[in-house]
Structure 1
Amino acid sequence: MVDTRKVGVLGGGQLGRMLIEAANRLNIQVNVLDVDKSPAKQISSHDGHISGSFKDAAAVKKLAESSDVVTVEIEHVDVGMLEEVSSQVAVEPSWKTLKIIKDKYAQKGYLESHGVQVAESIDLEGKGVEGLKEVGSKFGYPYMLKSKTEAYDGRGNFVVKSEGDIEAAQKALGDRPLYAERWADFRMELAVMVVKTKDGVLTFPTVETIHEDSICKLTYAPPRNVSPEITARAQELAKKAIGAFEGKGVFGVEMFLLKDDTLLINEIAPRPHNSGHYTIEACPLSQYDAHLRAILDLPIPESGLRLREPAIMLNILGGQTTDSHVQIAKKALESPNASIHLYGKGDARPGRKMGHLTVTAPTLAAAEKEIQPLIDVVDQQKGKAVTPSPASSSPEPLVAVIIGSDSDLPVLKAGLDILTKLQVPFTTRITSAHRTPDWLREYSKAAGTANGLRVIIGAAGGAAHLPGMCASWTTLPVIGVPVKATHLDGVDSLYSMTQMPRGEPVATVGINNSTNAALLAVRILGATDLEVRERLRVWMEGNEKEVLRKDQKLLEEGYQTYLKSMGK
């Protein structure tokens, strides 16, 4: 047992279930307060669980008495009781934090007071229809009408598209405490899982989230077509937001990336979150591992929060039949890189979270290709018409081959043939270091953020600045191929590539040796892609057999006959 302290959890749904899966590996006892046979209790057999509601004061007190640390898997809890028991048991995160975050309007105001950018909001409690009209006059349409409390997965939200929607909005949410939020014209939704410890604030990578009917459907790690600068800013914004709150644990931070690349915090969850499920397979430590370690003050190596390889998470929501989630899971069993999580909730209902799938792959493009059939099944189970994806003319390239002039292309043919034979997708572009410097810079910078590219091969003759300049603008490995030009037999190009200054490496092969450049690129890919490595191994075995065959022929025929067969 790593830690003898007992963790009490208010709520026994799927988040509690996955928290227990992490705790079980460390032999840490988790006491759950929820109804009998809740998803979390199904996988944990001991007599420390409490049967009842996580909003019941007496039950919360009983849980606190049997635990050393109390945490939540849902923020809609009896905060007053948590305040009361906090003098006897550690409550993480702090009850003060839960009190602020569970009221979304108070949450926005608190963040704004700490210099964190959020969408402008207006309190509407008690203002009725006239208040909704005033918001339309101030914010314009559309705007978001939201319940301050008890709102999640789109429940408690209403998009007011015009004044004509106000009556329907009042009818839908009028009995709740309301506020309005200025519409955020975003191009993408991002999320960051943040870990607050006794020593500071850490983050998992930034991810992209896709919502459907206000429920997270897909999570892409890393985000598609987002620069490293933006993902870093998202992490810093998330750290700033969570740094303003008291207590320890994992927090889910959802944000908008606006069309001008501005970032706004949308909502914060003081617990593990749907957008962090991908961490179970894609990171050394999952968000559940991190939450346990944070609230128990156990070590959390920052490198354990890194992304090991790209991943896509797909939520399994209840469809038109009670077994829709089972049918989706059966289909996922056919996918070699899909990890299946079913939550033990019994019969499916439309929109109910029944489980999730995570596909990991060496590239995000490969993960997208593998998960698309599963997305189609999910949509079919929901009764949506599925439009077949257009057949891709070629897979996403892993290698970019850039040349300064089309006259260099014949030198590259041998290497391109190797890539083709080993089934490594590549793209070939012309971009001169001297004649199109801006285009080279643009391409090199973009290559580092592209979904699939992993290696760049740059071929050039003469001064041969192409691969060196490319290397200064990209984080990808660059392999230089010196091309034999009219003068100096390519030695000038060889020297140019090998004499790069410290900090800007270019792996340089022999003059005109595009074969070795291609094979080096394949070996770089093979370090993380076992399929590529296996194809390379088979190809190398073929070379060995061919050499041995020639050796046997030379031995049997003698050198003179052998030379004649060679036409010499």
Structure 2
Amino acid sequence: MKIGILGGGQLGRMLLQAAFNYPVELHVLDPDPQAPCAAATPYFKTGSLQDEATVYAFGKQVEVLTIEIENVNVAALKRLQAEGVKVYPQPHVIETIQDKRLQKQFFVQHQIPTAPFVLIDHPSDLHKHANFLPAFMKVGKGGYDGRGVLPLHSPADFAQAFQAPSLLEKAADIHKEISVIVARNEAGEVRAFPPVEMVFDPQLNLVDYLLSPAQLTEEQAAEAQSIACRLIEALDMVGILAVEMFLNRDGSLWVNEVAPRPHNSGHHTIEANYTSQYEQHLRAITNMPLGCTDSRCAAAMVNLLGEAGHYGAVYYRGLKRALARKGVYVHLYGKAETKPGRKMGHVTLIDDDPDSLQANIRYIKEVLKVESRAAVSGNPQE
């Protein structure tokens, strides 16, 4: 079966790795000729993901078309779907999730718990909602990895407001941020992974590390999985969906945002679960039985981000020291150049002892650094 992936980043690379065990041929389209997928498949093509003609021509060569990034041309996907190409997730799902305004309205229409919000068509609208503060202004389209989110504490912050259609979301009283990965195949079978707990870098607004399973009560974990299952069924979606949620201090769960593709919060599943999120996505879009989502053991995942002040050809300082540690699995994404905050890889840590797991998280964060070749002296792998 010929499967096309729109996007050739690290998520596509790990999807390719999972596909090696199946009778499928994966083709990849990405605008960057040096994308992580470029060296991983002979069926890599360079081209724009936003150009309708390019996406359409690429999709006509495959039987199933999927994504590893949401910012793609939906008009081309609709044409392909109408002409018999299986597009998963479906174009209507991608279109809804591309726009946070539509996404939030969908949650309300389908009784999915989420933070109270108001739509902002123009920055001047903010003054009508001064009593809604503190809140977060989120741009409707184009935001990712913390970009396109602006905290508003008082009307004095309105001067920094986005000039594009946005939404104003009530600040949650967050106890923990969690994520549930859920999958659904063509036959309608649905399976959710155990919730994970995400700890964010306060400066970069990216996941610093995550813990699996999340430290929740059985009731909270079951409710989070139930919400994720209800959401993927409401979307009538085929594929894998990452559902990020707030666990508030009053015990309530609110869906924050969703991503209709493999996700940073599911990387640990490669080593820590019976089925990885990548294999599960392949099973879903090819209508195979979904795999067991149970955890094999407790785990953590640490993101490897480019160090501040480092640009250019990449060096991994401390790689040998990291690999010498028991239960450490290093995944590097094959990106030739680093810059501050860029996702360059991740490390999965396996350990059933919570104290030992936390010690290993601290160890990896201390010894393994993503630096630039020009700024490094000595052996970066020491």
- TM-score using structure 2 length: 0.91
Q: Secondary structure at the match of 2:274?
A: coil
- What corresponds to 2:378 in structure 1? none
- What corresponds to 2:61 in structure 1? 66
* 1:242 CA drift (Å): 1.4
Q: Secondary structure at the match of 1:371?
A: helix
Report 1 or 2 for greater relative contact order, CA contacts < 8 Å, sequence distance ≥ 6.
2
1:347 is aligned, of 337, 342, 346, to 337
2:190 is aligned, of 193, 201, 214, to 201
1:131 is aligned, of 125, 132, 140, to 125
- What corresponds to 1:33 in structure 2? 29
Q: Check conservation: 2:191, 2:290, Cα contact below 8 A.
A: no
Q: Check conservation: 2:317, 2:370, Cα contact below 8 A.
A: no
| 2:103 counterpart of 1:107 | yes
Rg: which structure is higher? 1
Unaligned runs of 5+ in 2: 373-382
| 2:349 counterpart of 1:359 | yes
Q: Percent identity?
A: 35
Query: In 2, Cα distance between the equivalents of 1:277 and 1:313?
Result: 7
Query: In 1, Cα distance between the equivalents of 2:240 and 2:276?
Result: 10
The one-letter code of the counterpart of 1:71 is T
Query: In 1, Cα distance between the equivalents of 2:297 and 2:128?
Result: 49
Q: Secondary structure at the match of 1:149?
A: coil
- What corresponds to 2:380 in structure 1? none
Give the count of matched residue pairs.
Answer: 365
- What corresponds to 1:219 in structure 2? 210
- What corresponds to 1:78 in structure 2? 73
* 1:380 CA drift (Å): 9.7
Query: In 1, Cα distance between the equivalents of 2:56 and 2:318?
Result: 40
Q: Check conservation: 2:189, 2:290, Cα contact below 8 A.
A: no
Q: Secondary structure at the match of 2:278?
A: helix
Cα RMSD (Å): 1.8
Q: Which residues in structure 2 correspond to 1:63-462 (within 5 Å)?
A: 63-88=58-83, 89-125=85-121, 127-128=122-123, 130-137=124-131, 139-140=132-133, 142-167=134-159, 169-170=160-161, 173-174=162-163, 176-197=164-185, 198-212=187-201, 213-224=204-215, 226-301=216-291, 304-319=292-307, 320-322=309-311, 326-377=316-367
Query: In 2, Cα distance between the equivalents of 1:381 and 1:284?
Result: 34
Query: In 2, Cα distance between the equivalents of 1:325 and 1:249?
Result: 35
Greater share of helix:
1
* 1:381 CA drift (Å): 6.7
* 1:365 CA drift (Å): 2.7
The one-letter code of the counterpart of 1:201 is V
Q: Deviations over 1:61-104 (max 9, x none)?
A: 12111111000101111111111111230000110011001111
- TM-score using structure 1 length: 0.62
Query: In 1, Cα distance between the equivalents of 2:259 and 2:20?
Result: 24
* 1:333 CA drift (Å): 1.5
Query: In 1, Cα distance between the equivalents of 2:21 and 2:166?
Result: 43
Greater share of strand:
2
Is 23-32 or 154-163 further displaced after alignment?
23-32
- What corresponds to 1:17 in structure 2? 13
Q: 1:120 to 1:317 in 2, by over 3 A?
A: same
